[in-house]
Structure 1
Amino acid sequence: MDRRTAQRSHILAIARRHFLARGYAATTMSAIAADVGGSKATLWNHFKSKDDLFAELVKTDTEGIHAEALVILDREGETFEILCTFAETYITAISTPAALRLQRQAAAVIERIAIGRLLNDRLVGVVETRLANFFATRMAMGALRRSDPGRAAQLTIALCLGLDPRRLFRPAEAAGIPPRARAQFVLAVLKDLYTHRELQAKEEDDE
């Protein structure tokens, strides 16, 4: 890592502490510069404003938040088992205290800073595209009832993000509904909607 890159990473690490502990409004570039050390020019050399610094932090911290979950969609195996594992992994990733704090801080300033599209692309867009491809492939294989794969992807993400609305209204450290239990609910909804009707009827008769 060259000196400039290392310095930029150091600034982002310190800025992250300030933003998550104090919030966007109460964080100042002066306070960050003081913690970084050296002159204020060092900070301004990398970021021309607090908005730019915060946007870069959001971009950096959301780059890999769903990486582990997306890998699961490339696995071979039973379709609903894959979807259940994906849902649990994705819910776990977006529900950590650090991830929740970042989402809340970003939501609080979304009208001031042009990060709305960035957040959507990073937290939702990439996942939606990969999920839609997964649903399209599995529907073509006959593993799922044919429907609109894009809508199936949107529904899955909505269930993962919104199943426990308390996640945005309680301390970030509070566990809420465990990811495994939430994933099982997501799976139940998807099974109801995308299992072949004749197979679903047979399973209900067997019960």
Structure 2
Amino acid sequence: MIDAKFRSDRDARREAILDVAAEVFLEEGFDAASMSTIAAKVGGSKSTLYNYFKSKEELFQAHVERYCSWQGAEMFALLDDEGDDVRAALTRLGRRYITNVMSDRNMRHFRLIAAASERSPDIGRAFYEAGPLRGARLLGGFLARMKLEGRIQIDDPIAGGHLFIGLCQNRMLKARLVNYIGAPTPEDVDAEVAIAVSTFMAAFGPKA
């Protein structure tokens, strides 16, 4: 019982550190952020921080992995209802995906991670594996099930997952990254998803 309480308290403390670290990284950037600043905002010492994370890089990587996990859980849970047809499921996913990924906060995270990955490739690797790659695999699993049911015709479901995600984000992503456009409106999202789903189904939907 004591061990369980210790683990619970330790987990809560770790989450609190990650909450504070996320805001510091977003405000100051990876290079400028310091363990001292994070510790001060958490309300402890650097030594306490190092009990949980061995370095700033490890702390940032944990933040990236947690953020990707939250994003993925929210988006790809929409595929759990297998009663829907493929078009309906992809439309639901696409809307959530574009809304989340193209948001101001997510763009700030993406720029932050890309900059940090220049010096620390492990951070980029952690982000890609926990975010884009995991998402494509989850969508690929759904597409594989739909293939078995004869609802789509696709040779490589995981490649199909990458392709659909690319169709959803391709036109907007670079423009958002450089602040050429703002976050899409619901109408923008609907229009973009409609094109992505139509294109995907034209390529892989059942043939008459």
Normalising by the residue count of structure 1, what TM-score does the alignment of the two structures yield? 0.84
How far off its partner does 1:29 sit?
1.5
In the TM superposition, what are the counterparts of 1:10-159 in structure 2 within 5 Å?
10-75=16-81, 76-113=83-120, 114-159=122-167
* Cα pair distance change 1:136/1:4, threshold 3 Å: closer
How far off its partner does 1:146 sit?
4.2
Deviates more, 1:53-62 or 1:143-152: 143-152
Aligned match of 1:4 in 2, 6, 10? Answer: 10
Q: What is the alpha-carbon distance in structure 1 between the residues aligned to residue 194 and residue 131 of structure 2?
A: 21
RMSD: 2.1
Counterpart secondary structure, 1:6: helix
Please say if residues 153 and 204 of structure 2, whose CA atoms lie closer than 8 Å, have aligned partners that are also in contact: yes
* Cα pair distance change 1:74/1:35, threshold 3 Å: closer
Identify unmatched segments of 5+ residues in structure 2: none
Aligned match of 1:183 in 180, 193, 204? Answer: 193
* Cα pair distance change 1:189/1:37, threshold 3 Å: same
Deviates more, 1:13-22 or 1:179-188: 179-188
Please say if residues 154 and 160 of structure 2, whose CA atoms lie closer than 8 Å, have aligned partners that are also in contact: no
Q: Which has the higher helix share?
A: 2
Q: Which has the larger radius of gyration?
A: 1
Identify unmatched segments of 5+ residues in structure 1: 199-207
**Structure 1 segments of 4+ aligned residues over 4 angstroms from their partners:** none
Please say if residues 14 and 32 of structure 1, whose CA atoms lie closer than 8 Å, have aligned partners that are also in contact: yes
* Cα pair distance change 1:72/1:39, threshold 3 Å: closer
Please say if residues 140 and 146 of structure 1, whose CA atoms lie closer than 8 Å, have aligned partners that are also in contact: no
The number of equivalent residue pairs is 197
Identity of aligned residues (%): 31
Please say if residues 88 and 179 of structure 1, whose CA atoms lie closer than 8 Å, have aligned partners that are also in contact: yes
